[in-house]
Amino acid sequence: MADERKLAYVMAFNEAVKQQMEADPNVFCAGEDIGAFGGVFGTFGGLQAKFGADRVVDTPISEQAIVGLGVGAAVTGLRPIVDLMFMDFICVALDQIVNQAAKLKYMFGGDAVLPLTITTAGGGGLSAAAQHSQSLEALLCHIPGLKVVMPSNPYDMKGLMTACIQENNPTVMIKHKRLLGMTGHVPEESYSIPLGKGNILRPGKDVTIVAYARMANEALIAADELAKDGIDCEIIDPRTLQPLDTDLIVSSVKKTNHAVVVHEAVRFGGLGGEIASQIQELAFDYLDAPVTRIGAPFSPVPFSPALEQHYIPDSKTIVQGIRDVMARV
């Protein structure tokens, strides 16, 4: 509708945080440069001016300490949002993420509550080079005790971020850097999207494309191109990667009889392998061709803009992958 309220992806994140901070005094933010500077991508802009330095805390440059602060605050009754500037930097904090945040509830027999939200920015496309451009979501999804979220549009960003903050278990919200300026319909009132529930971005009958974050948008472009040749694509955006909405994916594949899984991460060992395995296990008799995976080559993300553009899958890569699948007997 023409009068729909439009908001950028980055501001949808910001609005979700602001509304939850207004609603609950136990919600606070901590991270490098998120205070007066508003974060490296502006995601926390204006929040320190509104809520003060006690609730929007600039931290030292120590990712392990930032997550450790969040774990301690969460287990003692607060609702921290801790920011790791780039997804690549989770590697510095993995002991706190994997061995503390993800394990404490289990190790305390369910008595420990950890309403901790870790936010970070993933993905390439900004020529930020190999140490600032990775997609490491599969690593996080492998850890029991974590919930992992990757929105593909502003509406989902606000709803999923709200759900993350309200969740009583550790969540990781991964913003895609190339989507920060994307605009779309976002209601002004607070709302949440249940974690673990995927979305049908585009209904179709010939092939199921499972794609998330930036790749979901590339899949939409590819679907429009393939429609010119009479190939009707159904696009499933999982939105939450852990837990994964396997039922939605399998139901779609049983209808279309073909499946293509797309992610920006390196293809080998990526989440696409897990999704393909679940389709194979639960919908094998419905498949008219093997499940196809599309991902990046097994290489660090290049700095060169020309090489990076070639490295990251796009709509053209998806179109070719689907043509190959549909051509198989």
| pLDDT one-digit tens code per residue, 128-153 | 999 999 999 999 999 999 999 999 99
Tens digit of each residue's pLDDT (9 = 90 or more) over 94-119: 999 999 999 999 999 999 999 999 99
Model confidence at 2: pLDDT above 70: no
| Contact residues for 311 (Cβ-Cβ < 8 A; gap 6+) | 124, 296, 297, 299, 301, 302
Model confidence at 271: pLDDT above 60: yes
Going by pLDDT thresholds of 50, 70 and 90, the confidence category of residue 294 is very high
Q: Which whole number is the average pLDDT over 2-18?
A: 93
Q: How many whole angstroms separate alpha carbon 32 and alpha carbon 97?
A: 17
For residues 292 and 261, the answer to whether their CB atoms sit within 8 Å is: yes
For residues 81 and 165, the answer to whether their CB atoms sit within 8 Å is: yes
Amino acid letter for position 185: H
Domain ranges of the chain: 6-185, 199-327
Model confidence at 262: pLDDT above 80: yes
- Which residues does residue 185 pair with via DSSP β-bridges, in sequence order? 6
The count of C-alpha atoms lying within 13 angstroms of the C-alpha of 42, restricted to the half-sphere facing its C-beta, is 8
The count of C-alpha atoms lying within 13 angstroms of the C-alpha of 167, restricted to the half-sphere facing its C-beta, is 26
Among 218, 216, 173, smallest CA distance to 192 is for 173
Tens digit of each residue's pLDDT (9 = 90 or more) over 62-93: 999 999 999 999 999 999 999 999 999 999 99
For residues 87 and 135, the answer to whether their CB atoms sit within 8 Å is: yes
Model confidence at 3: pLDDT above 80: no
**Cα angle value 233/234/237 (rounded, 5°):** 130
- Residue indicated by tokens 């499972």: 210
Q: How many whole angstroms separate alpha carbon 66 and alpha carbon 64?
A: 5
Q: Which two tokens stand for residue 112?
A: 């420990």
Asked: is 6-185 a CATH 1.10.10.10 domain? The reply is: no
Amino acid 127: pLDDT: 95
CATH number of 199-327: 3.40.50.920
Q: How many whole angstroms separate alpha carbon 272 and alpha carbon 95?
A: 25
Q: Which two tokens stand for residue 187?
A: 């209601």
Going by pLDDT thresholds of 50, 70 and 90, the confidence category of residue 328 is confident
Tens digit of each residue's pLDDT (9 = 90 or more) over 226-252: 999 999 999 999 999 999 999 999 999
Q: How many whole angstroms separate alpha carbon 296 and alpha carbon 326?
A: 21
Q: Do domains 6-185 and 199-327 have the same CATH topology?
A: yes
Tens digit of each residue's pLDDT (9 = 90 or more) over 23-58: 999 999 999 999 999 999 999 999 999 999 999 999
Going by pLDDT thresholds of 50, 70 and 90, the confidence category of residue 305 is very high
Model confidence at 261: pLDDT above 60: yes
Going by pLDDT thresholds of 50, 70 and 90, the confidence category of residue 329 is low
What secondary structure, in 3-state letters, does the chain show? CCCCCEEEHHHHHHHHHHHHHHHCCCEEEEECCCCCCCCCCCCCCCHHHHHCCCCEEECCCCHHHHHHHHHHHHHCCCEEEEEECCHHHHHHHHHHHHHHHCCHHHHCCCCCCCCCEEEEEECCCCCCCCCCCCCCHHHHHCCCCCEEECCCCHHHHHHHHHHHHHCCCCEEEEEEHHHCCCEEECCCCCCCCCCCCCEEEECCCCEEEEECCHHHHHHHHHHHHHHCCCCCEEEEECCEEECCCHHHHHHHHHHHCCEEEEEEEECCCCHHHHHHHHHHHHHHHHCCCCCEEEEECCCCCCCCHHHHHHHCCCHHHHHHHHHHHHHCC
Tens digit of each residue's pLDDT (9 = 90 or more) over 194-214: 999 999 999 999 999 999 999
The per-residue pLDDT of the chain, averaged, comes to 97
Model confidence at 1: pLDDT above 70: no
For residues 312 and 300, the answer to whether their CB atoms sit within 8 Å is: no
Model confidence at 310: pLDDT above 70: yes
Sign of CA dihedral 311, 312, 315, 318: positive
Catalytic residues: 132
